[in-house]
Chain A
Amino acid sequence: SYLLTQPPSVSVAPGKTASIPCGGDNIGSKTVQWYQQNPGQPPVLVIYYDNKRPSGIPERFSGSTSGNTATLTISRVEVGDEADYYCQVWDSSSGQVVFGGGTKVTVL
């Protein structure tokens, strides 16, 4: 089955840029979504179709994919961005939807 790999944690200072990688075999050929989840809350979609932002999501959130890595970038990080972030793809070969293991972003 298709696997997505994320680092367990990323730390970033306020005002700096956070980059959250999501590794998968040839992930650049798939469409990637990113969800933000705060403790005790359901996830929220922050990026879809690799780099599209839903309405209401700040421009500070952006996504990109290349080769075997997709990346969620959060610019000018704020304390309120502390959360878990999950990447997600649909693997056409298996017909399955897959989530990455999640990355906890800590704002120092």
Chain B
Amino acid sequence: EVLLVQSGAEVRKTGESLKISCKISGYAFATYWIAWVRHMPGKGLEWMGTIFPADSDTRYSPSFKGQVIISADKSINTAYLQWNSLKASDTSIYYCARLSASSLFLIDYWGQGTLVTVSS
């Protein structure tokens, strides 16, 4: 069974750093692209970027380039999303997701989501 299990909810203050995780099981982690998707309260879904764990090839959407860092550790089948300096506007649910083998944009499995709350 394919599972993407994300780390728990986080509460931080503006300016703090944070790294959330997405632990994968049930398939060969290194051979499928992983995407991160933001879902802000009351808003739509936003594609943040993707990573191919086999070689850490990472691609960011323009809106998120320089704002977050996407990484992966294939030795422990885990993908990460990281902020060096959080803003209140980073308050959101963040999903990791697996991209289908046949496509770089078709999501076939999702994590349960991680709620990040940033306050001043």
- From known contacts A1-B62, A96-B61, A96-B62, infer whether A54 and B108 are also in contact, taking CB-CB under 8 Å: yes
Q: How many residues of A contact B (CB 8 A)?
A: 23
- Most chain B beta-carbon contacts within 10 A, residue among A45, A54, A86: A45
Q: How large is the interface on B (under 10, 10 to 19, 20 to 34, 35 or more residues)?
A: 20 to 34
User: How far is the CB of A62 from the nearest CB of chain B, in Å?
Assistant: 17
A102 CB-CB contact with B under 8 Å:
yes
Is A98 within 8 A of B106, CB to CB? no
How does the 8 Å CB contact mask read for A12-26 relative to B, with 1 for contact and 0 for none?
Answer: 000000000000000
B80 CB within 8 Å of chain A: no
Where chain B touches its partner, the secondary structure class is loop
Known: A96-B61, A98-B47, A101-B44. A45 touches B108 (CB 8 A): yes
User: CB of B95 within 8 A of chain A?
Assistant: yes
CA–CA, A86 and B106, complex, Å: 13
With contacts A42-B110, A42-B113, A96-B61 taken as known, whether A86 is within 8 angstroms of B105 at the C-beta atoms is: no
Residues of A within 8 A of B112 (CB): 42
Contact A45 B44 (CB under 8 A): no
B window 42-65: CB within 8 A of A: 43-47, 59, 61-62
Residues of A within 8 A of B (CB): 1, 33, 35, 37, 42-45, 48-49, 54, 86, 88-90, 95-102
Chain B residues close to A by CB (< 8 Å): 35, 43-47, 59, 61-62, 95, 97, 100, 103-108, 110-113
In the complex, 29 of the A-B residue pairs with CB atoms within 8 angstroms, ordered by the A residue number, are A33-B106, A33-B107, A35-B45, A37-B45, A42-B95, A42-B97, A42-B110, A43-B45, A43-B95, A43-B110, A44-B110, A45-B107, A48-B106, A49-B106, A54-B108, A90-B105, A95-B59, A96-B47, A96-B61, A96-B62, A97-B35, A97-B47, A97-B105, A98-B47, A99-B46, A100-B44, A101-B44, A102-B44, A102-B45
